[in-house]
Amino acid sequence: MLFAANAILLNHGHNGRIPQNFAQQTPTPKEAEMHIEVDDLSRPAIHALLEEHLRNMREISPPESVHALDLGKLRSPDITFWTVWEDAQLIGCGALKELDRVHGEIKSMRTPEALRRKGAGRAMLAYIIGQAKARGYERLSLETGSFDAFKPARQLYESVGFVYCGPFGTYEEDPNSMFMTLRL
């Protein structure tokens, strides 16, 4: 099933309120050509993007602090994986892991390094928030890095209401990790 990015941003993720920075979040005509779909992780383009993601995480973080999932782990039945496309070009991905019946975790949010600043990350995040609400989750959490390289991602999460929290699920305190959560 395909979804227009503008419908995702306007119908999900903001509890029906127009956020103060709405003008910055309104999709441009170019972004309106994006679509998001459930992905079975079989296409070479997604393999390449996930390899880029894992390679980058391993370059930035020490091995014990890399929590990015590989293809096998992303195929777990408690994870739904989506991709963002602009025409036939893969421009992003993200996943939602069910931790329990009221708590989900965002995993594998990524846009290719060469294709950033197109709105794919914001569209994917809004879509995942909408899906978490539709599932009846009360809380959505995530783990991200503490290094400066992760600052743009943290700013994106903060812009939609995520706040910093302690470790959740099976995570433990880690100076290389930051944890964030959003009450839905």
Within the chain, strands assigned E span: 3-4, 34-38, 79-86, 89-100, 103-110, 139-145, 163-165, 177-183
Average predicted confidence (pLDDT) for the chain: 82
| Beta carbons within 10 angstroms of residue 120's beta carbon | 27
Q: pLDDT at position 12, please? A: 37
For residue range 101-148, what is the model confidence (pLDDT) as tens digits?
A: 999 999 999 888 777 888 889 999 999 999 999 999 999 999 998 888
**Nearest in space to 129 (alpha carbons), one of 138, 140, 144, 143:** 140
Question: Sorting pLDDT into bands at 50, 70 and 90, what band is 53?
Answer: confident
Q: Please state the φ and ψ torsions of residue 49, each to the nearest 5 degrees.
A: -65, -40
Whether the pTM exceeds 0.75: the reply is: yes
Residue 33, pLDDT score: 83
Rg (alpha carbons) of the chain, rounded to whole number: 15
Per-residue pLDDT of 60-110, as tens digits, reads 877 777 777 788 999 999 999 999 999 899 999 999 999 999 999 999 998
Nearest one of 163, 172, 169, 56 to 108, comparing CA atoms: 56
Per-residue pLDDT at 10: 32
